[in-house]
Amino acid sequence: MSVEEAREFFRGHGLQPYRGEQVLGWIHRHGVHDYVEMNNLPSDLRAELGNIAPLRRASVADVRRSADGTVKLLLEYSDGNTAETVIMDHDYGVSVCVSSQVGCAMGCAFCASGVGGLVRNLTPGEMLEQVLEAAREVRAAGRERVTSIVLMGSGEPMHNYDNVVKFMSLVNWNKGLGIGYRHITISTCGIVPGIRRLAAEGISVTLSVSLHAPDDETRSALMPVNKAYPVDELVKACRDFADVTGRRVTYEYALIRGVNDSSEHAHRLIALIRGSLCHVNLIPINPVQEAGLARPEANVIQSFVDLLTAAGVSATVRRELGTDIDAACGQLRRRFLKNERGRFS
């Protein structure tokens, strides 16, 4: 619930509306799982709330901690579905990678999330729970707070647009987590109508687009979405997004050995995006067993980034985090599904 919805809910049940805001504060700031913990609420109100609005919180089904400080949580929701959240520790703060759907319908060749297809959308509350559990973990590790959010976990956020926009407003609430829109990144596989809708939303979030190839032939082989929204149309929407919002668009480019890592691919990419407000994030892929894809050698990765940089295109190679804990999206959930519930190979 938003603050307004919580106030309305309380009013509708004959309770003082400000108590609704108080309850949300307990959930957002302290991640409480039970009304009993809300010790500035009268005990009879806590008991009543337990009856009229039971707190159905997700449970953490598994935690994986990487040697580099990355932590991956697997949340299990009340219907038994699971979704992954990754906490990444950077010099500049702590970011949380949130899943927007259980599974994914988009079927990208390099991604474990899409292997089993889409199960269902996550609600704003279920996405919030990922951040709340991550924040609890962050506090337990002695870090102050979650500073940024990336919607880059399982799922295509633009296919769950309304829920994602509401989720962002929840984490943005200034009496809760208070995460500024500028510190929230939405990642899309290239749903052009969603990009255009987001540009018109009037919120200054960061857009990240999974491009992964500079031509339709290569991209369509990797990402079926390209048949609906080809490269030129996608990049045009991204250029327009940057013009309308003044925000730099990030292009994600997963480097895959022998598929999209040649100098010819680099030159095509340069021709495609040069001159627009953008940055290229090169990601040597985490191998996906099911798809038989591998990462290029280190010198190939370096040549690719050097070509882009020399042409005046801003580009970096993403620091690898959590490769020892299946941190790439969908990997942990798939391992969970393959084995008996709660047991991992």
Residues in region 195-214 near ligand SF4 by CB under 6 A: 210
Under the binding rule (CB under 6 A), the answer on residue 83 touching ligand SF4 is: no
Query: Residue 274 and residue 312: Cα distance in Å, rounded?
Result: 7
Query: Residue 141 and residue 128: Cα distance in Å, rounded?
Result: 20
Amino acid at 45: L
Under the binding rule (CB under 6 A), the answer on residue 190 touching ligand SF4 is: no
In angstroms, give the least distance from the CB of 54 to ligand SF4.
Answer: 31
Query: Residue 260 and residue 210: Cα distance in Å, rounded?
Result: 13
Catalytic residue flag (residue 329): yes
Under the binding rule (CB under 6 A), the answer on residue 104 touching ligand SF4 is: yes
| CB neighbour list of residue 39: distance below 8 Å, 6 or more residues apart | none
| DSSP structure string for 108-143 | -TT-STTTT-EEEEPPHHHHHHHHHHHHHHHHHTT-
Query: How many of the other CB atoms lie within 10 Å of CB of 331?
Result: 23
- Give 210 or 245: the residue with its C-beta nearer to ligand SF4: 210
Residues in region 144-183 near ligand SF4 by CB under 6 A: 154-156
Residues in region 305-344 near ligand SF4 by CB under 6 A: 329
Q: Using CB under 6 A, which of the segments 34-42, 107-115, 169-177, 302-310 binds ligand SF4?
A: 107-115
- Give 6 or 332: the residue with its C-beta nearer to ligand SF4: 332
Q: Is 120 exposed, middle or buried (CB count within 10 Å of its CB: 0-12, 13-18, 19+)?
A: middle
In angstroms, give the least distance from the CB of 21 to ligand SF4.
Answer: 35
Catalytic residue among 104, 233, 329, 340: 329
Per the CB < 8 A criterion, the answer to whether 242 and 251 are in contact is: no
Amino acid at 183: H
Catalytic residue flag (residue 84): yes
Catalytic residue among 84, 126, 129, 137: 84
In angstroms, give the least distance from the CB of 134 to ligand SF4.
Answer: 19
Query: How many of the other CB atoms lie within 10 Å of CB of 142?
Result: 6
Under the binding rule (CB under 6 A), the answer on residue 108 touching ligand SF4 is: yes
Q: Using CB under 6 A, which of the segments 106-114, 129-137, 166-174, 277-285 binds ligand SF4?
A: 106-114
Q: Using CB under 6 A, which of the segments 36-44, 99-107, 200-208, 282-290 binds ligand SF4?
A: 99-107
The CB-side HSE value for 301 (13 A sphere, CA atoms) comes to: 19
Q: Tokens representing 149?
A: 């959010």
Catalytic residues: 84, 329
Q: Which chain residues interact with ligand SF4 by CB under 6 A? A: 104, 106-108, 111, 113-114, 154-156, 189, 210, 329
